[in-house]
Structure 1
Amino acid sequence: MAYLLRGCSKALICIPDLHIGLVKVKVSGKDGNVILRGEANEMTVFVTVTNKEENAYNARLIVTFLSDLRYIGLDKDTLFSCDASKDSIGQNRIICPLGNPFQSKDSVTFGIKINVQSLSADIQDFKVSLEAKSDNPENATTLIDNYYETESIIVETKAAYGFNDGRPSTAQIEFDIDKPTVDVSREPTNQREIGQFVNHTYSVINKGPSVVNFVNLDILWPWKVKKGNSTYLLYITDLKMPSSTQCNTGDIENPLKLEAPVVEESNATTVEGEIVTRTKRSIRSLRASSEQLCPEEKDCPGSSNALCCPIKCRISQLQKGGTADIEIVSRLYERSLVQGKISALNVTSFANVSAEIENYVNGDPLPKSINVTTQITQPAEVTDESLEVWIIIVVVIVTVLILIAAVILLAYLGFFKRAKKEQLNKEKAELAAHGEQLLKVSNGD
């Protein structure tokens, strides 16, 4: 304890008076207390500590902040460095030595750089605490300025997210109700016997700058026809999605448990460098247990022929510039169309996207709703009128060819030459008769 006596005026032990003065926060080099996720990388807390009275021994500044934040270092070269550790409740803490002794009337100013890139999604604001201490205690009356807490530092999320695209695998499918592509006289025994493929894909994008966590995608899927016994319309056989996405299709995904053709079993898609297969239902979807296949069934908007079933998907995280493509693979249940005598209709699915965290500040607007349509049409037929046109064209061509052949034949037989000869003889006779008349007139004279 002897060293505590050095630099003292009257008392046996030096009595310092540490004071935390200027405290300023800069985010990414700019004054302010707002951190924008995805744009801000670091913040700097500038502080000035002064000893107004006698020497302070083993003087130190203790800075405490969230465990999500990470200490980088000091903003400039100093004669000391700070040590990082954890406090009793798991928060990050750094201890910066001010001097031993931190002499009377001395003052030091420096900046503490902190990385803010790993802030969790639920943090909307936080504070940084600073405390100046020494081994030789101060008077209780001067301790009030040894502690400082910054104003709340606001964490703001700004993200332009929404639908980038919505597309069918085929915009139009020809379906002949009299000649379906599969045998509709019985129920299908495998997926190939259902009908033609109808796939709808929904592409969700985040243009940033912030990461979007927990994005909900709600889909209304046209799964049954209303006519007849309300049998299947678009029969879902598979879903393709990123590993960050989970979808709950209830029990409408392959409800008949039909086997897929072997060539489709290895169906896989690459998403952001990952291969996501759909061979295990326990992985690909969150199954719902219900006595009904779709307890929330409802009329499809704008359709008098289709019933829709909701499908709920959840994207756990969407990075800046990232996309998530969710593709629903289905087949047109041709047996239902034949039984319901439906020869043409527009099959539309509806999708909406939203973020679970309500304090998002949207950037450039992107559509939050989208419709994807596949048009089922009758095949084009050759009409009677079009047949008559072709017949007329053929008749004209044949007639012209016959005329040309007749002209060539007559010319070959000399028909046109005979006419010329007869005309020449006639002209000669007329000329001779005219000459005789002239001769008679001349003799009479």
Structure 2
Amino acid sequence: MTKNREICETHDVYVPDTIRDKISPIIVSVNYTYVERRLSGDLLEPAVDTTLPQAFTTELVIEKDCGEDNVCIPDLKMTAKPTREKFTLGTTDNSLLTNVSIQNSGEASYLTQLFITIPPGFEYGGIEKYGTKQSISCSPSENNSNKKDEPYDFVCDIGNPLPANEKVDFGVRLTGTNVDTSKENVEIKMRVNSTNEEEAGHGDDNAFTVNIPLEIKAQLSLTARSNPDQVDYSVKNRTDLDKAVFDFEVGPLVSHLYQVINRGPSSVKKARFDLFFPSFSEEGKDLLYLLDLPRSYNFQ
């Protein structure tokens, strides 16, 4: 490089379409230095002028559909509605589909994302697209605690950008696997957001909470059997109380077997069985009394 001679070089830089941050400018930094080397003879070593900057920084602004000021102000609004009026536990179809609609009434919205808070006992089951042109993809949030008994979040990329006056309609499917039956409702929280902020006071319609009543439908039936089927309670079957040694000498033994069946479709955590039997006769004398406490068996 000789004195008073300027050298220019051109470099082409390609930005992939998958770049996520399209709001912030791309920072380009260039610096120069001199690599010292031994020169032969009486040639002098070049010197760098330290009074001049040795690094230069510039910004490449990504062109956006935001008008002359290149500043986009979106206006997002979302609504959500489940396809079922109530969620019944134990049915063959344990899925829950919620239709979501997101409208951008402002300028282009960049890195538009939907945050879904999924209640415990439900799993994310995918997206149902309803003819929308936007590519929608969802993945678990990095901030989830991984505890089974706590809600967890899924993040869905809706559009980058979501153009002005664009509407996206899709369905979010959840699957109930171990639903908490102590709750009265299934609560699904959703909110939409973008990297470029909306005007003040326009963010109230960016969140929506879906509440679906939780229904437990159980058909309980009771059957009973006596052993023996019929009892002959006569004097010849009894021994005087003063002379009786064993229980069966006082009167015949009777055992009852009761069977409680839940025909579903929902399961129940607890059920109470009340047993009433005549303990005394009309004259106030002992008639029936328990020899042993009732025992329960699970035949599943």
TM bucket by the smaller chain? 0.5 to 0.7
Match of 2:83 in 1: 26
Normalising by the residue count of structure 1, what TM-score does the alignment of the two structures yield?
A: 0.45
Q: Distance in 1 between matches of 2:244 and 2:231?
A: 22
Pair 1:215 & 2:271 matched? yes
Match of 1:6 in 2: 63
What letter is aligned with 1:161? Answer: L
Rg larger in structure: 1
1:137 to 192, 197, 209: 197
Offset at 1:183?
10
What letter is aligned with 2:127? Answer: L
CA distances 1:407-445 after superposition (whole Å, capped 9, x unpaired) = xxxxxxxxxxxxxxxxxxxxxxxxxxxxxxxxxxxxxxx
Q: Distance in 2 between matches of 1:36 and 1:179?
A: 54
Offset at 1:53?
3.1
Structural mapping, 1:12-51, within 5 Å: 13-21=71-79, 23-27=80-84, 33-39=85-91, 40-51=93-104
Q: Distance in 2 between matches of 1:242 and 1:235?
A: 18
2:295 to 232, 237, 240: 240
Check conservation: 1:34, 1:153, Cα contact below 8 A. Answer: yes
Segments of 5+ residues of structure 1 without an aligned counterpart are: 28-32, 244-270, 273-445
Offset at 1:134?
1.3
What letter is aligned with 2:63? Answer: R
Pair 1:128 & 2:188 matched? yes
Q: Distance in 1 between matches of 2:295 and 2:108?
A: 70
Check conservation: 2:237, 2:249, Cα contact below 8 A. Answer: no
CA distances 1:339-360 after superposition (whole Å, capped 9, x unpaired) = xxxxxxxxxxxxxxxxxxxxxx
Q: Distance in 2 between matches of 1:226 and 1:172?
A: 20
1:160 to 219, 225, 229: 219
Offset at 1:96?
0.3
Pair 1:96 & 2:162 matched? no
Check conservation: 1:70, 1:92, Cα contact below 8 A. Answer: no
Match of 1:198 in 2: 254
2:137 to 67, 71, 81: 81
What letter is aligned with 1:219? Answer: L
CA distances 1:317-369 after superposition (whole Å, capped 9, x unpaired) = xxxxxxxxxxxxxxxxxxxxxxxxxxxxxxxxxxxxxxxxxxxxxxxxxxxxx
Check conservation: 1:42, 1:117, Cα contact below 8 A. Answer: no
User: Secondary structure of 1:145's partner?
Assistant: helix
Q: Distance in 1 between matches of 2:255 and 2:236?
A: 24
1:104–1:76 CA distance, 2 compared to 1 (3 A): closer
Structural mapping, 1:416-427, within 5 Å: none
Q: Distance in 2 between matches of 1:149 and 1:186?
A: 72
Pair 1:72 & 2:125 matched? yes
Q: Distance in 1 between matches of 2:237 and 2:171?
A: 79
CA distances 1:228-259 after superposition (whole Å, capped 9, x unpaired) = 9x66734423533135xxxxxxxxxxxxxxxx
Check conservation: 2:228, 2:254, Cα contact below 8 A. Answer: yes
1:185–1:157 CA distance, 2 compared to 1 (3 A): same
Match of 2:232 in 1: 174
What letter is aligned with 2:213? Answer: I
Check conservation: 2:238, 2:249, Cα contact below 8 A. Answer: no
Segments of 5+ residues of structure 2 without an aligned counterpart are: 1-23, 27-60
Q: Distance in 2 between matches of 1:210 and 1:126?
A: 16
Offset at 1:45?
1.0
Check conservation: 1:5, 1:13, Cα contact below 8 A. Answer: no
What letter is aligned with 2:253? Answer: F
1:213–1:171 CA distance, 2 compared to 1 (3 A): same
RMSD across aligned positions (CA): 3.5
Structural mapping, 1:355-370, within 5 Å: none
Check conservation: 1:69, 1:92, Cα contact below 8 A. Answer: no
Offset at 1:95?
0.8
1:184–1:81 CA distance, 2 compared to 1 (3 A): farther
Match of 2:6 in 1: none
Normalising by the residue count of structure 2, what TM-score does the alignment of the two structures yield?
A: 0.64
Q: Distance in 2 between matches of 1:168 and 1:213?
A: 28
Check conservation: 1:6, 1:14, Cα contact below 8 A. Answer: no
Offset at 1:62?
0.8
Q: Distance in 1 between matches of 2:229 and 2:112?
A: 74
Offset at 1:61?
0.6
Check conservation: 1:182, 1:195, Cα contact below 8 A. Answer: no
Q: Distance in 1 between matches of 2:129 and 2:291?
A: 62
1:95–1:68 CA distance, 2 compared to 1 (3 A): same
Check conservation: 1:65, 1:92, Cα contact below 8 A. Answer: yes
Name whichever structure is richer in helix by fraction: 1
Offset at 1:130?
1.9
Match of 2:31 in 1: none
Check conservation: 2:113, 2:192, Cα contact below 8 A. Answer: yes
1:235–1:36 CA distance, 2 compared to 1 (3 A): closer
What letter is aligned with 2:226? Answer: P
Q: Distance in 2 between matches of 1:92 and 1:139?
A: 29
Check conservation: 2:277, 2:288, Cα contact below 8 A. Answer: no
What letter is aligned with 2:212? Answer: I
